[in-house]
């Protein structure tokens, strides 16, 4: 994402010479699509798309990009979490655009657009209109309104039916989750976290058009697109060639290591408890409090935000929000009789999780196996422990 300093520089540099009376382009002007590779930060994992406008006769070389936000916006983090953060279009000098991705070590590819002068004027005028203070802000949506989806929309609004997408190159149609996974490593916290936060709504097949929520698919689709019967792209080149980085993440820092350690700890402690006919309360407090807090977060994202991708999240079955209340009971030395029924409920929810997974109602992270196994082991032991405790009380 582009920083606020670029926006300030943009307004300072181009505010006076802006196209207030409509764009004046020379025959040497060019428009091109810029596609940026993935980066290390989560926000950069899916790449970036932007439009470059270059006119050597006027000394102009700028980049228009959607998906810009301001960290200094009031209530930034709250609005971001709730899906209410205002995003904007920005315009920055091309050299600063390139410099930022050199620093981030991300490749940049350019596709020059096969447009006549009037068509170029229409696009630039449209982008400048979007830059007006009353038009700049819009409500971002990760799947349906981001920096990539806005690119084809610019062409569609200006060229209408003259723009034709050819989808015959599509061999495979993926779900939104599968498309997201293409940019993430399985054994990474970003992949694990996204699978926990996003619900069953992203497990449907994306249409060929909807694949363009990812910049790389916009890049590929534009090569298969025509305008007035002519190819939209006339030339391609690599502006910044950055080789793919080797993943050097230490295994000890990966989710597999920590989740496997969790499962091993639960198995060992439960085995000791079985032998000694006791209950390690601190272990139960940790499991119930963590799953309860996780459940509260999932329900918040589901019901109290504008994010569409976080709806219908059945991770809430194992990350069960009422566990946060049950923590106060599980911390006691003696548990109430009704807790046996509560354990039956929790075991039933785990089983439901597995059924939904098998039926592909929601595809969960493969790493969830560690958590579900640990919870099943502990819940089953607590059920048997409580059953024995309640039986002894009746005799």
- Supply the pLDDT for residue 4: 37
- Supply the pLDDT for residue 70: 66
Residue 124 has pLDDT above 50, yes or no: yes
User: What residues have CB less than 8 Å from 128, skipping those under 6 apart?
Assistant: 18, 19, 23
pLDDT in tens, 200-235: 999 999 999 999 999 999 999 999 999 999 999 999
Rounded mean pLDDT of 315-336?
Answer: 96
Rounded mean pLDDT of 170-181?
Answer: 92
Distance from C-alpha of 3 to C-alpha of 349, rounded to nearest angstrom? 44
pLDDT in tens, 8-44: 334 334 433 444 445 689 999 999 999 999 988 877 8
- Of 64, 67, 85, 68, nearest in space to 76 by CA: 85
Rounded mean pLDDT of 313-333?
Answer: 97
- Supply the pLDDT for residue 244: 83
Strand order from edge to edge, sheet including 163-165: 163-165, 225-227, 230-231
Mean pLDDT of the chain: 90
- Whether 86 contacts 141, CB under 8 Å: no
pLDDT in tens, 285-298: 999 999 999 999 99
Residue 125 has pLDDT above 80, yes or no: yes
- Is the entire prediction scored with pTM above 0.85? yes
């Amino acid at each position: 994402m582009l920083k606020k300093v670029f926006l300030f520089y943009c307004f300072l540099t181009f505010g006076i010479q802006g196209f207030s009376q409509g764009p004046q382009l020379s025959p040497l002007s060019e428009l091109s699509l810029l596609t940026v590779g993935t980066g290390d930060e989560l926000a950069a994992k899916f790449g970036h798309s932007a439009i470059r406008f270059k006119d050597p006769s006027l000394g102009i070389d700028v980049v228009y990009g959607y998906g810009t936000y301001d960290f200094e916006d009031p209530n930034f983090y709250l609005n971001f979490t709730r899906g209410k953060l205002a995003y904007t279009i920005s315009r920055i000098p091309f050299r600063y655009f390139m410099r930022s991705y050199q620093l981030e070590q991300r490749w940049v590819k350019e596709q020059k657009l096969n447009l006549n002068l009037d068509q170029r004027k229409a696009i630039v005028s449209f982008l400048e209109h979007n830059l007006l203070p009353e038009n700049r802000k819009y409500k971002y949506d990760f799947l349906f309104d981001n920096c990539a989806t806005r690119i084809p929309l610019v062409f569609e609004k200006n060229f209408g039916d003259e723009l034709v997408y050819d989808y015959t190159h599509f061999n495979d149609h993926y779900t939104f989750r599968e498309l997201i996974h293409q940019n993430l490593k399985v054994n990474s916290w970003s992949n694990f976290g996204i699978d926990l936060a996003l619900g069953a709504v992203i497990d449907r097949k994306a249409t060929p058009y909807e694949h363009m929520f990812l910049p790389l698919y916009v890049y590929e689709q534009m090569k298969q697109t025509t305008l007035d019967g002519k190819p939209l792209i006339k030339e391609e080149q690599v502006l910044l060639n950055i080789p793919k980085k080797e993943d050097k993440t230490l295994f000890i820092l990966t989710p597999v290591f920590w989740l496997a350690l969790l499962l091993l700890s639960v198995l060992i402690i439960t085995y000791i408890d079985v032998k000694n006919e006791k209950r390690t309360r601190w272990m139960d407090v940790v499991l119930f409090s963590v799953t309860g807090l996780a459940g509260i977060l999932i329900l918040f994202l589901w019901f109290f935000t504008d994010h569409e991708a976080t709806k219908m999240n059945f991770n809430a079955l194992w990350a069960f929000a009422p566990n946060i209340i049950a923590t106060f009971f599980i911390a006691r030395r003696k548990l109430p009789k009704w807790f046996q029924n509560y354990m039956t409920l929790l075991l039933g929810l785990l089983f439901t999780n597995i059924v939904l997974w098998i039926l592909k109602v929601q595809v969960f992270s493969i790493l969830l196996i560690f958590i579900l196994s640990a919870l099943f082991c502990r819940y089953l032991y607590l059920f048997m422990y409580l059953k024995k405790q309640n039986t002894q009380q009746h005799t």
